[in-house]
Structures are given as structure tokens and as C-alpha cells.
Structure 1
Amino acid sequence: MNTKNTAIYDAALSKWGFESQVLVLSEEASELAASCSRFLNKKTDSTKVAEEAADVEIMIEQLRHNGMGPMIDHEKIAK
């Protein structure tokens, strides 16, 4: 993670709070799921799926930055 992202993530946490950021992640994940369904039903292209996946990755990076990184890594290893 670069220093620009660190500053952005700190500002987002300060402005909206952790729970709000978790809510945004759930919204972005829902949008990704919907885009995947539309892609499989030939109603959108892979660009939209990639766009929504990027949004989800950004929000997960924020969770990691805000202290959940070790927990996420632990769960990945456990799987």
C-alpha cells in the first residue's frame, strides 16, 4: 500500500467511521454479485465486472489498513 492510499484510507476512516466503511464494502460486494449475474446472463460485459471487483478490492484494502489484515490472512490460511 502506498502513502497516497494510506492517507486516503485514514481520511475515509476519520470522516465516516469503521462501521460505515464495512457497510460500503457490503454494498460494493452486492454490486459485484449483480454484475457477475448480468455478465453470465449476457446483459453486460467483463468491464463492468472488473470495475465492481476493483471497488471491492479497494474496500478490502481499507479493512486491512484499519486493522483487519491479520484476521483476513488467518481466515485465508484456514481455508
Structure 2
Amino acid sequence: MQEVLQAAIDKWGKDMQLTVATEELAELIKEICKYVRGIGNKEHLAEEVADVEIVLSQLEIIYGKERAIKNYTSNYSFKSVKRSLIQLMDFITDEDAKYATDMVIWKVRKKTEWLKDTLCLHPDVYRIKIQKIERLATLIEQ
């Protein structure tokens, strides 16, 4: 999987992958809102979680991993994740981009894990991620 994600970064560039990451995070936020309002469905939510997990892996490749973030155990709300995403856009060209990105990645990963646990999405997300990575590999080869 890492090789495919790196190949996508190499083919389309870091800036494009950052744009895709922003789009995917926004789509997850939209699906969460629909689900909370009672008009969403688990399949769409699982698909967006899978997309976000894929782009988070790409962000980790682009910016590296901050080990201190992995040990941080506070609980955050989705609003704080959204605020962090907005703050990230201010930092993206700054020297602090790596730290800000690591923090956002950590927060979003915590929330996607909570979603998968709460809604029993693990099998769906795994299946969708594999399908999407296979499609991505095909696109890279073209």
C-alpha cells in the first residue's frame, strides 16, 4: 500500500495530494453530519472513512510521523478537528506545517477509529480501502 501511495504523490505531486486530502476530509465531515441528522447511511460513511485513512497515510508520507503525537491521549471533538483543519491551511506553507499536520492526522485518526468502533464499520472500511488502493494503482500505471 505504501508504494502505491508514494507513487501517487510522485505522479501528481504533493500540492495535488494536499488538495485531495482537504476534499476527502470535507466529504467525511459532510457524511458525519448527514449520519447524525439521520439521513446518511453506513456504506457512504464507511467509504469516506476509507478515503480519509488513505489520504492520512499520504500526509504521513509527505510530512513524516511525529512520535510525540502518537503518545498524546486527550479526547477531541469533531469541532476541534475541523478547527485544526482550518488552522492547518494557515500553516501549510510554514515551517510549522509538519507539526500541525501531525496533530491533525492524529486527531482525525482517533475520530475515524471511534466511528469504526461505534458503527461497526471495520470490515466495510477495510474492503473499500483495498478497492480504492487497487484503483489508484491502476490510475498510476496509465
TM-score range, shorter chain: 0.7 to 0.9
Q: What TM-score, normalized by structure 2, do the two folds share?
A: 0.46
Count of residues in correspondence between the two structures: 73
**Structure 1 segment 47-58 matched on structure 2, within 5 A:** 47-58=43-54
Amino acid at match of 1:22: L
Percent sequence identity is 30
Matches within 5 A, 1:30-69: 30-69=26-65
Deviation digits for residues 17-62 of structure 1 (CA, Å, limit 9, x no counterpart): 1111011000000000000011111112122111101100100111
1:26 alignment partner AA: T
RMSD of aligned Cα (Å): 1.7
Return structure 1 stretches of 4+ with deviation > 3 angstroms.
73-79
The DSSP-based 3-state class of the residue aligned with 2:65 is helix
Alignment partner, residue 25 of structure 2: 29
Paired residue type of 1:51: E
The unaligned stretches of length 5 or more in structure 1 are none
Matched residues in 2 for 1:44 and 1:20: separation? 28
The answer to which structure has the higher helix fraction is 1
Counterpart among 6, 13, 20 of residue 17 in structure 1: 13
TM-score (norm 1): 0.77
